[in-house]
Every structure is written in structure tokens, then in C-alpha cells.
Amino acid sequence: MPLPPLDQLTPSRILLIKPSALGDIAHSLPVLSALRRRFPKAHLSWLVNRAYEPLIAGHPDLDATLTFDRGAMKQGWRSACRSVSSLWQTLRRGEFDLVLDLQGLLRSGLMTRATGAARRVGLAGSREGARWFYTDVLADPGRAGLHAVDRYLLVVQALGAATAPPRFHLPVAPQAAAWAESALAGLPRPWYVLAVGSRWVTKCWPPAHFGSLAGRAQAEFGGSVVFVGGPEETPLAAQVMARLPGPTLDLTGRTTLPQLVAILARADVMVGNDTGPLHVAVALGRPVVAPYTCTKAALTGPYNQAHRAIETRVWCAGSYRKRCDRMECMAELTPDRLWPTLRDIVTTWHEQSRSA
């Protein structure tokens, strides 16, 4: 017997699978909001890596989060088996009738199947055989054809959900907001929030470039530079700070995830590589400026701010290479290329501040 069309479903319990990473979860937020509008009475859960769960905890469109500890997989086979067994039992007890896999990898495909849901939906561009665990495989132009946000929205469009315009909502925890207000108190505005690191060396714009760009902004407009990121980015932040003429605050390695969100929510402008904090800032509605070296703004750029992602023009631009022996893009993509965009944002901020 053929399954009914997806847009005719009336599910009561829905699970969204998007375990990681920070930027990808931010890209998935419009899917959650579209699901809530389409199925206002359904119970909506999100399966997420425990490390990222604080990002979506308390979201008004979400009823529950299911978490798993990916780190347990690296603590020996006994720990891995216990973790997997516990997760599988949790997924089965959820009694979901509709599961949406936005991760599209083998492990998320297996999680999808473990739910036992009658309808398990994913994209044809899913990798590592994940699609074999779906009951419904949706055609898509692949990872080279659409922005990540628009690819994810194909899933809820198939369910009959309205997705235009995509709605980004990211809750800011009150306690974290109070902490951010205290941390920034006394620092002159505008607040330039910088994320100067990246796990990919090919995404990591040189500290000297960040220093030149932010230093020019401070010299012309004043303000304070606030650094965010993990502890591994502290040495990079120190290199940038040494080049700045004005006030700075180094928060690298010193914030929880809710505190990071709260700081980004208060940014007057955020400057960062193509990494998680950039996309969280976009989801919070903050203006951004971003150097794009090995990735493509059309695919993973700041959503609805693509004109503020300044791309290199070298021969291998947008190659998504994680390693490179030449790194010509770093010399070609100079601070002068990003300056007009940053200048326009800060000029607008000053004009609005004077009229407020």
C-alpha cells in the first residue's frame, strides 16, 4: 500500500535530527519555526549533541531536546556501547511518527532508523548511505546548488509548510544576558565582536589582517573590540590585540555557549571567519563582515547578508579545501577589501545612535 503524500500528514510527535555543529544548527533554526507553524499542536523534539544543547534549550517552538555525548564514543568500546544503547532506547521510547534527518550522515541515518518512525525523511544529497534508512528521500540540487538554509527548508516544504521568509529565532537566556551586560559595561561603543579562529587553517584569515581592519575601525570610529571563541583561539586574539589602538576584551575560552550567544546578541557588528559564531550572529540579526577564502558565500555565507561576505578572487576560491600549501587567498583578500563593508555598517550605527 503506497504511503500518503508528505503534505497530507498530521503527525503528533516529530523529531528533528541535527546534532552538530554550531553553524549548522543555526542554519537549521528556520526549519524548527516552519514546523511549528505547520503543526502547531505537534510535540517537537530535537536530537542534538550535548555540547550544543544549550543553544536551543528554551526555544519557544521546541517541546524537548534529546541529547547524546559524542565524546563517549572516544572513551573505549564499553563506553561507546553503553552510550549507543541508551540513545537507541531513548529514540524508541519517543514514539515518533515523523523524523527529519538534516545531518545526512551514516550515524544520523542510523538514529533515524532507530526511532522506528513510520515516516523518516531526508535529502537525496545525504552521504555515507544515510538515505537507505529513510522512507522518503527528497530530491535536492546537492550541496553545491543551494545555500545550506534553503536546502534544509526543502524538507519542511515537502510537508506543506510555508518557509518564506525563513524565520531565525535564537533565545538568549536571561542569566547569560545579565552576564553579558556586566562584561561589556564600561566599554565604549560601538562593540566590534571578533571571532578570529577556525578549525580549518584555510578559513583562518591572518591575525594581522584582523588587526589592521579592527584597528582602522577604532582609529576612525572609536569603540571596543571583543574577542570570542574557544581557548585555542586565545593566542590568535593576543596577536590581534597587540595591533589595536583602543580598548579590548578577550573572552576566548571564557564563555559558556549561552554567554557566547548573549555577547553576540549585543554586538554592534561581528567580524569573523566562516565558522559557528558568525552564523549565530546572523541568526540573532546582527550585522556581520566575513572574509571568505576556501568556502562559498552562496552556499554557507551569512544568510541574507551575502553582500557582507567578501570572497577571495584566487584560482581556488570556494574549493572547500581544509589544507593548502599555497594559501594565496590570504594575501589576496586584504583588509582593504573588507573595509568598505565594515565602514558602512559602523557609519549606519553612528547615525542611528545620534538619532535615538
Per-residue pLDDT of 147-188, as tens digits, reads 999 999 999 999 999 998 999 999 999 999 999 999 999 999
| Partners of residue 194 on adjacent β-strands | 227, 271
Average pLDDT, the chain: 94
Go through the chain and tell me how many residues it has.
356
Helix, strand, or coil (residue 282) = helix
Cα dist. 345→12, 30, 42, 354 in Å? 45, 25, 41, 15
Find, among 53, 26, 21, 56, the residue nearest to 288 by Cα: 26
* DSSP state at residue 16: E
Domains contained in the chain, CATH given: 6-158 (3.40.50.2000), 174-355 (3.40.50.2000)
| 193's grid cell | 565582536
Q: Find out whether 202 and 322 touch, Cβ atoms under 8 Å.
A: yes
**Residue 50 pLDDT:** 94
CA distance 180 to 261: 9
Q: Is the pLDDT of residue 271 over 60?
A: yes
**Residue 79 pLDDT:** 63
pTM: 0.94
| 248's grid cell | 579590548
